[in-house]
Structure 1
Amino acid sequence: MGLRMATPWKHPETGSYYLRERVPVAVQETAAGRTVAIVIEGQSLSVKIGGWVKLSLRTKDATVAKERYRDASAALQEHYRLIQQEAATGPVRLTQRQIEALAGEYYRAETQQHQDSPGQPDEWDATRSALQDMGETVAGLERLHGDSANLMLQQRGMTVDDGSRKALMEAMHRAYVMFAEGQERRAVGDYAADPRTARFPAFDDGAMVTETTRAKAGQPQTAPRVSLSDLFDLWAKEHRLAGGSEKTARDFAHKLDSLGAYLGYDDAAAVTQRQIIDWCDHLRAEAKLSAKTVGDKYLTAVRAVYRIGVEKGRITAAPTDGVRVRKPKQIKTRPSGFTDEEARAILLAALQDPSTLGNMAEKNKLAIRWTPWLGAYTGARINELTQLRKQDFITEAGIPCVRITPDAGSVKTGHYRVVPLHPHLIEMGLLEFVAAQRGEYLFLTPAETLEATSRRAENVGKKVSEWVRTGAGVTDMGVQPTHGWRHRFKTLARDVDMPDRLIDAIQGHSDGSAAAGYGETTAKAMYREIQKLPRYEWS
């Protein structure tokens, strides 16, 4: 599983495909109003950056559009990276030698492209006259050479100051005039060696060494570019080998998507600590996420993915190192679990005639009928309950039990567990309900893959949560609409002196100790404790 990829947009009237992307938040302020060059099918096109970027891909073929979109989007991301780099470190001031070296590259590229078919001499004579006039104004220089200058600088990963860029275009113009003179000479059959190429020096920025010069010098070339998608795929592979859940993988993909969308590019090595901090601040200020959510969910996911990249030698350092999201002291005004009144309201509402639920899918109605009661007596997570199958109801040592297993869908720990059923559930007819169901899954229709089935279980869980708010009337946002059962179960278990190790075994928790990994917690031991729980009965 990789990160989500954007796709070309098809114009509904013309059928032509476009690159159409929202400009990332991180670069909106600094990039607004800038014009950058994007190459489409060998032609450099100018595009102005605003709130959105829109650029024709010049094709009506979907396959071709995808290829051009990928290249154009990557070029746009590189522009964003350079703009952010400029904002952080300031633009580069080119030396005269560097300017002439870049002009020489321009001269050689134009010569190589056009020398075989130079055209007519009088055409080049007229061209040189027109060049003389256009080269006298900045606007003329921009029209002639602006896109080519942008492209050369982008390819070298450089953002230069305005003075350097103007001087570069002037040097490029002089080089182009020389190219036109050479073309006029070749047009009359003179293909003598061009002595002018020797006047241009090799480019050297005093620090940067290109892959070409590395190879010529016999030096090891730098590592290939590593994207955020590459790092995620590396992490996901390790996660799955360790038995991690697909739900966690999807959640981490979402968090990496958020970072990539904020930055506007996915070059993992180019991300800085400052950008990670700014992203976290953006999630809090603009996305209105809590400090806990940003720190424990978003930052944790990105930190884990980068850590794998460092461990596997794909990147040298993690920009998440040293980054923290400070959490304000939490103000708690109520218990995390349901109160007696809330538990009563939910469980009694679940017993009502399913016809009162309207046009809701029958499987959702069954989930509303049974998962609150199962949650109350097992303390299980809602998605562990909504993905239960008929074969998950078993008997161990003569005790009716439910098996919560990754074979049915997503389990947070990745480990199966067996939980004895409280006698009250048996008396309510739970096992008869299970036996009467025709399909394998009790509360959903399975998809073709286990991952897709897990997503359906999540959706059913959301339906139950919505019903708790609207149907059962538990509207206090200080308690989670289904997770409240897990907190309440632990509270009641402590009230009846249930040992913590048995509570953890029933709920699928771990205390992290080495001793917890030794021995098995039997159904007999758990059933003895579960029977201590008070019944949910009202006169």
Structure 2
Amino acid sequence: MPLKMASPMKRKGSSLHQFRKRIPADLIGKVDGIDLQIPIGESFVTKRLSAKTDTIVMSLQTRDPSEARRRHTVVTAYLDSVWDGIRFGPARLNHKQVVALSGEVYRDLLTTFGDDPVSPDLWQSVMMDVASAQAGNILFIGTQEERRLAALERRYGYLVDRVLSRHALRIDRDSRERLLLESTRSLTQATFQLLKHAESDFTPDPEANRFPAFAPPERKAAPLPEPAPLPTTSLTGLVDAWWIEAKATGRKPSTYESYRNTMLKFVKHLGHDDASKVTPEDVIAFKDARLAEINPRNGKPISPKTVKGSDLAGLKVVFDWAVTNRKMATNPATDVTLKLGKERRTRPKGFTDAEAATILRHARDHRRGKERPTTFAAKRWVPWLCAYTGARVGEIAQLRKQDVRQEAERWIIHISPDAGTVKTDEARDVPLHLDLIDEGFIEFVKASKAGPLFLIPAQDGDVLGPLQGVKNRLGEFVREVVDDPRVQPNHGWRHRFKSVCRDMGVDPGVRDAIQGHAARTVADEYGEVSITAKAIAIDKLPRYVIK
């Protein structure tokens, strides 16, 4: 009678086929802490084994019997390789095998982005990230080489894990370090090639064939050192890995900074950096701890709105990405939320007539002390520009001289993400109110040097850091004369502008276009709001009377 081979089965209550197979008897109790990256179709399922695990049970994620049998065979082969790796200990790779596997890192990146490489800026940024990691730029105490390996592991270790999982390989520490360093070299090569693609140069990489075919190492039963568990996925590493993809899809650096800061707080709260150990209870405890935390800037508890909209939202996004990319089995933050009560409003969100006039007078009368000329200029002109455009303070603070132009005797400012950052990532033109011309803004622009009017970029050309500093200074400047905590010192202008437009009968679609707000309905998306329509609306706004 022939032996009956293991085959897919169905679980009661589910139409999907299931894989179920016991761990070999000689390995029971020896798999504690082992991470599996099990291939299912075109993706991977992550499982962490414990000392009590005796059976591998999982969905094959298909209803097709023939596809289920194929997947069952692939999973069985993968697990057999893992069991052999545990029996014989972690393998040592020779140099040729290391280079071969690093070639898979190269090809993975070219396969994912080769046909649609997004933009040259992205790959120049990735090159800088790789160089920073190779330089060992990480908050870690150790030698230069230890810092370098730690930085590379945190940022690119997941690429190595993906390749090792594909071959069901467990390797020793020395092999991993060599593979990590070699993979960084192939990552640099791939990034350079993708940069050429983004610049419309699809000339084949002359060095693409330097990677040999991979031949698995021979298994030799000499398990002297105890097999070390596969590297864990770090929480901070998840944010960096998420950002590589998010950057390519247009997410903003400010979002990355917010999520990264949240994850650093979460790691500090947990006391560890291991994503596989995070539970929903950990996220709930973090939420409660944040709500009890005092903001050192104002001495008040952290806002529930901040905890929900920033902390919990950031964790959910990063963990969702990790689950999708098989780095975590589940999202521990999925069901954790915070119900916000209705915000008490005891005054309008925008500045009152008296407050607006006070701020503009304060800006006009301001005299420069020891501050930078750009900071002085920001205090003088940004409030006035916000008052007559309703723009976000950051959009105005990052204006450049070339963003101010004249068309048909009308002065216009061009608000563009090219200057720094715009929330909608869409440029727009806003005509200037004649009061700004009479105040002398155009004379100021003409006398200014080329480049940003109100900030000094960092040495590497970055404006986001300096921009935040200018926004902080402007907030403090307004608080010198309007100290009511119920109105935001910078954002109050956007609310006021909307109110004034309503009073003057400005068409809702036109005022939204001036301020860069999204269309309210599908119908509003048809057609364009012309400069003429915006100019007519701007001219309806009354001049501020400053005594």
* Bin for the TM-score computed over the shorter chain: 0.5 to 0.7
CA distance in 2, matches of 1:391, 1:509: 24
2:401 to 376, 390, 394: 390
Number of the residue aligned with 2:492: 484
Correspondence 1:291 to 2:299: no
**Could you say if the C-alpha distance between residues 524 and 63 of structure 1 is closer, same or farther in structure 2, counting changes exceeding 3 Å?**
same
* Partner Cα separation in structure 2 for residue 372 and residue 379 of structure 1: 10
Structure number with greater Rg is: 1
Equivalences for residues 305-344 of structure 1 within 5 A: 305-344=318-357
Change (3 A) 1:480 1:68: same
List gaps (5 residues or longer) in structure 1.
Answer: 1-59, 74-209, 213-221
Give yes or no for the alignment of 1:242 onto 2:249: yes
Shift of 1:64: 6.0
**Which residue matches 2:204?**
none
| Counterpart mapping for 1:213-292 below 5 A | 225-287=232-294, 288-292=301-305
**Is residue 521 of structure 1 aligned with residue 537 of structure 2?**
no
Partner of 1:534: 542
Instruction: Output aligned runs, 1:504-519, within 5 Å.
Output: 504-511=512-519, 513-519=521-527
Following superposition, the deviation at residue 65 of structure 1 comes to 6.6
Post-superposition Cα deviations, 1:175-219, rounded to whole Å, max 9, x if no partner, equal xxxxxxxxxxxxxxxxxxxxxxxxxxxxxxxxxxx989xxxxxxx
Given that residues 361 and 546 in structure 2 are in contact (C-alpha distance below 8 angstroms), is that contact kept between their aligned partners in structure 1?
no
Structure 1 residue 518 displacement after superposition: 4.0
Q: In the aligned structure 1, how far is the partner of 2:442 from the partner of 2:237?
A: 47
Taking the aligned partners of 1:516 and 1:389, their CA distance within structure 2 comes to 30
Separation of aligned partners in 2, 1:61 and 1:479: 48
Letter in 2 for 1:524: T
Q: Do the aligned residues in 1 keep the contact of 2:430 with 2:514 (CA within 8 Å)? A: yes
Residue type of the alignment partner of 1:477: P
Q: 1:481 is aligned with what amino acid? A: P
1:502 aligns with 2:515: no
Q: For residues 409 and 490 of structure 1, what CA distance do their matches in structure 2 show?
A: 24
Q: Deviations over 1:98-126 (max 9, x none)?
A: xxxxxxxxxxxxxxxxxxxxxxxxxxxxx
From the superposition, tell whether residues 318 and 406 of structure 1 become closer, same or farther in structure 2 (CA, over 3 Å): same
Query: Counterpart of 2:443?
Result: 432
Inter-partner Cα distance in structure 2 for 1:235 and 1:508: 28
- State the shift of 1:66 in Å: 4.0
Q: Is the 8 A contact 1:399 1:523 kept in 2?
A: no
1:63 maps onto 2:180 in alignment: no
CA shift at 1:440, angstroms? Answer: 1.4
- Measure how far apart 1:374 and its partner are: 0.4
Is the 2:401–2:449 Cα contact (8 Å) retained in structure 1? no
CA shift, 1:278, in A, is 0.9
Q: Which residue of 2 aligns with 1:361?
A: 372
Is the partner of 2:413 in helix, strand or coil? strand
Distance in 2 between the 1:70 and 1:305 partners? 20
Q: 1:70 to 1:354 in 2, by over 3 A?
A: closer
Q: What is the CA–CA distance in structure 2 between the aligned matches of 1:230 and 1:244, rounded to whole Å?
A: 18
Q: For the structure 1 residues 250 and 396, does the alpha-carbon distance in structure 2 shift closer, same or farther, using more than 3 Å as the test?
A: farther
Note the C-alpha offset of 1:508: 1.6
Q: Secondary structure at the match of 1:354?
A: coil
Pick from 454, 457, 463 the counterpart of residue 453 of structure 1: 463
The answer as to whether partners of 1:245 and 1:411 remain within 8 angstroms in 2 is no
Return closer, same or farther for 1:254/1:515 CA change in 2, 3 Å cut-off: farther
Equivalent-residue separation in structure 2 for 1:482 and 1:291 (angstroms): 21
Once the two structures are TM-superposed, the CA of residue 396 in structure 1 deviates from its matched residue by: 4.5
Q: Is the 8 A contact 2:280 2:333 kept in 1?
A: yes
Tell me which amino acid in the other structure corresponds to 1:342.
Answer: E
Matched-pair contact (CA < 8 Å) for 2:238–2:322: yes
Matched, 1:443 2:439: no
Are the equivalent residues in 1 in contact too, given 2:375–2:470 (CA < 8 A)? yes
Normalised by the size of structure 2, how large is the TM-score? 0.56
Specify the code of the residue in structure 2 equivalent to 1:456. P
Contact 2:366 2:380 in 1 (8 A): no
Instruction: Name structure 2 gaps, 5 residues minimum.
Output: 1-140, 155-225, 295-300
TM-score by length of 1: 0.57
Change (3 A) 1:353 1:324: closer
2:283 aligned partner, one-letter code: I
Q: How many residues align?
A: 329
Secondary structure at 1:359 match in 2 = coil
- CA deviations on 1:34-70 (whole Å, 9 max, x unpaired) are xxxxxxxxxxxxxxxxxxxxxxxxxx97426747999
CA deviation after TM superposition for structure 1 residue 354, in Å: 1.6
Residue 235 of structure 1 contacts residue 305 of structure 1 at CA under 8 Å; is this kept in 2?
yes
Q: For residue 406 of structure 1, what is the aligned residue in structure 2?
A: 417
Seen in structure 2, the aligned counterparts of structure 1 residues 61 and 254 have a Cα distance that, compared at 3 Å, is closer
How far did residue 434 of structure 1 move? 0.4
Match among 408, 419, 427 for residue 416 of structure 1 = 427
The CA deviation string for residues 238-260 of structure 1, in whole angstroms up to 9 with x for no partner, is 33223222222222211221112
Q: How far did 1:512 drift?
A: 6.3
Aligned match for 2:381, one of 364, 370, 373:
370
Q: Structure 1: which amino acid aligns with 2:486?
A: G
Distance 1:443 1:423 in 2: 21
Secondary structure of the 2:502 match is: helix
Q: Is the 8 A contact 1:245 1:413 kept in 2?
A: no
Q: Distance in 2 between matches of 1:237 and 1:65?
A: 24
Quick check: 2:391–2:515 contact (8 Å CA) kept in 1?
Answer: yes
